[in-house]
Structure 1
Amino acid sequence: MMETIYTAGLYCRLSKEDKIYGESMSIDTQRKKLADYATTNNITVCDVYIDDGLSGVTFSRPSFERMMADVDCGKLNCVIVKDLSRLGRDDSKANYYYEDVFIRDDIRFIAIDDNVDTLRGYENIVPFMNMFNAMYPRDISKKTRSAFRTKAQHGEFLGSKAPFGYYKDPNDKHKLIVDEEAATVVREIFELAIQGHGYNKIARILRDRKILNPSAYTNQTMPCHYKSEYWRDSPHDWHVTSLKVILENEVYLGHMVQSKRRKVSHKSDKIVKNPKEQWIKVENTHEPIISQEVWDLAHKVLSARKRDNNAGTSQMFAGLLKCADCGNAITYTCKKNYGSFSCSLYRVKGKDYCTIHYISYNDLYNIVFSEIQRHIKTLKKSETKLYNAALSFNKSKKNRETKAFMEQLSKYNKRISDLDVIIKRLYEDSVLSNISSDRFYALSKDYEAEQLQLKSQVDDINAKLAEYDKAESDARSFVELIRKYIDIKELNAKILNELIDKIVIGNKYIDENGEKVQDITIYYKFCGNIEY
């Protein structure tokens, strides 16, 4: 009988995890071991197939697939690996290749360290060995997730590349440093949002100004980061998704927010979003690019969900207008290039629920602009007068609400003291056996729960009272805001949202003189409604 001549492919694999945990020898050592075995056993080596840095969980590996293609076309009739785990760590697929490919098609398969050779036929131990090999990546996956979670909880950056506006510290890849060139673009994006521009309008502005999008900028600073060349065709095209990522990323406040996504399992590359409560947020881990004030203002404007009108301009009052009667939003409509506002509840449900509260866009603009100009004139004439007017509202509000809070505080504190006495007496009755232990625990549990709730309410009231003590600083902040816009020539969304908390629109009515009037009340930041 003629002896079979074996032409072998030597397959070497080493995953990133193997390198980290030292579970397998290097590629070079594997190759030498396989070559020595082939020489000793008179097996001809056709080619060496190497997958370096690739997990055994997947069998979609370039060199493995090339080797199996050579098996299929008859170029190889033998495959040699160091051990079964080098073939792969998915037991179902490893068993498939062992049983349904190598044994069925009479391809000699040798795993040197596991003493497996199909020349001896099927070996029952192999499926069990494959099962144990499959447990290894599960364990490594758990260890890796745990290590990453610990790093994330300590505020260490774990991404493959820094967010747009930052770069990784050359001395510590887990720290972020502001990239001033890109950070300037980030600041401008937030500024454009504050001015009332929507995502599409911001994208057009950046594109028209030939500003590199994040992908193009990253490739300019890190040429090897992206393998794809698609970004070269449109380096200045900005997409809504990119802008949303920037405008919603708290990394620009100096906070690290991670664990937003996760792999379904160690066997799958599918990524799913984690619920927000599972995110890991660590504050003040690096230098911020924008302030909390800018963040809040941008998101206030964006949350109004404004839409461009027929003229293609943004509606600057979006999110600021409230109905004086029902409290719902006053919303904008534009017909034949004529803009106006009316109560959203009235528009949806009709006059049985609220009245129209109609006001034209031009009338509202003129009223608000003239009111702001009035405060500017006051500031120019007498800063003290403007300061006292702002302070007066805060103090009157404080006087009104403080009295009610103090009455509540006295009531709650008295009840807390009474409960202390009651609980003490219950304890004494329990010690003296006047009541059973079960009765004591039942009653004391209820009283202690009530006391805990009251203490929480006391803390809330004290916190609100502490806020009222900021009256003077708030009045100064309002004066500085007016000073900031002392030379304004027209209104825009940024100015409105920086100066104003809300504008309450009343319904038109006939006064005692028979004239039609409408109450418009402006509540400013820091000081509310100002009257001189």
Structure 2
Amino acid sequence: MRCVSYTRTVSCMENGEISKDIIGQQNQRIQDYIKKRGWTLGKKYSDRKKDVYEETAYLQMKMDAIAREFDCVVLDSMFRCGRNSNVAAEMFRSMFVPASVYFAVVEDDFCSCDVSEEETYKYLDEKAAAYRNKFTTDQVRKYNESKIYPKYGFKYKEGKMELEIDPEAAKHVRRIFELICEGHSCNETAKIMTADGIECSGNYVNKLWGRPIKDENAPWKMAQVKRIIYNRQYIGEWERTIDGKKKMFSCPVLIDKETFEKAHSKLSVRKYSDHVRGKTPLNPFSNRIFDKDSGIALKLYPHQRLKIRIFRLSYPKPKEIVYERGHIPFDEVYEKVHKIIENEKRQAERIVGMIGSFDWEYEKEIRILKIKAEAKLIFQKMLLIESRNLPLYNSMIAGKISEDEYAMQREVNIEEFEECDEKLQDYLEQIKEIEKCFSKDNLWIKTFSEMIVPEEITRKHVKAWIERIECVRYEEVEVQFKYQDWKERLPQKWFEGDFEDGTKE
């Protein structure tokens, strides 16, 4: 196997001092790894500058891989591969793996030639995710450690991430808690504060921070009062996000805990009984049920003579709609929808039982191989385009073409290469979609195999599972479930046959 190595001074995952012999350390570990594998090392690529954006050798290695000048590149760590492991993982995923160019990572004792494509992609995803998580955490930490937010009732000590009480605003915060404890609602409290001529918290903060004010006479709002009442910072609990985790810091106490809890108890939400006299049972199918022929929404009405609830078109209905039945009972719709949901659940469970079977794997592999064949043709075209660049450059050096002609043709090559790369990325996305489709991550399989069909269907269940219910001439009911496109990607012959309740797909 024709092996090369890539080393780098800067890691995307470390901070602080970099060892002077860091390249030597990487080379030694790579040599030991290659010797253990019985390989021979050819060319070495190394980015030695202490620059996080340095990638001269990395790009050269990438171009040589496209030209198939080696079979495998050996790295000491994925975190020392190019600018960051996220970019490197994408390169290996989109270029190396489809072209059967291998990579080995000493730190993890991982080599793509030893494992399946699925395992290789999983490894790359984990390394890319590790970098992204660290990057996000670092950014959030830096942001939160330095970000200063307006806090009504407090102000920051000069040059410090430390709070002290703002006397002017603090007295208004205490007044709000007093009013709530006296039994006023948030809305009533807001009106009292406005009537007393107290500047609303929004305007006060904006003035304090030099921000523009839209309305000098803006009234207090219920939401402003509510935010103050439920803000635990007033009892000395200051929540900040450090290293991606929420942590509590102390700050001056503005409201004692007893008053804080008393205000909350006064605002406890009333719990209404489900058996309030005259209350009509909810319609779980509201805005989801339609007449199939016309597409018009059906409404739920009480039938005075039959003493039942029915679905029908609201009057006046279109004259051309004349059905044998004038309505369909709510209970009939409910029973049919319940039965159809149970049937969808059984279908999903049947499909889950097929995962990993010969038919399952065969169907998935056939679809992937078809996409790979198309991707391979595109990759070969990319190699051909890349092979034009060196002769073109030599022609310019030899004076056979001008620099302008070289630049023009070079631009044409780049555009063709980018078009091919875009197609290649599309094929790779298609493969990912197929792999997701033929797994438990298929959204239809995941949703309907894991769902628990309740005895009573509620609005919550309908929103979660159903896109649309169609009534056929007030006689039949059809249900369009969510994620049907994911179901339709599977072979439809798998859904043929009878189910326990006698229904058929």
TM-score tier, shorter chain, comes to 0.3 to 0.5
Structure number with bigger Rg: 1
| TM-score calculated relative to the size of structure 1 | 0.33
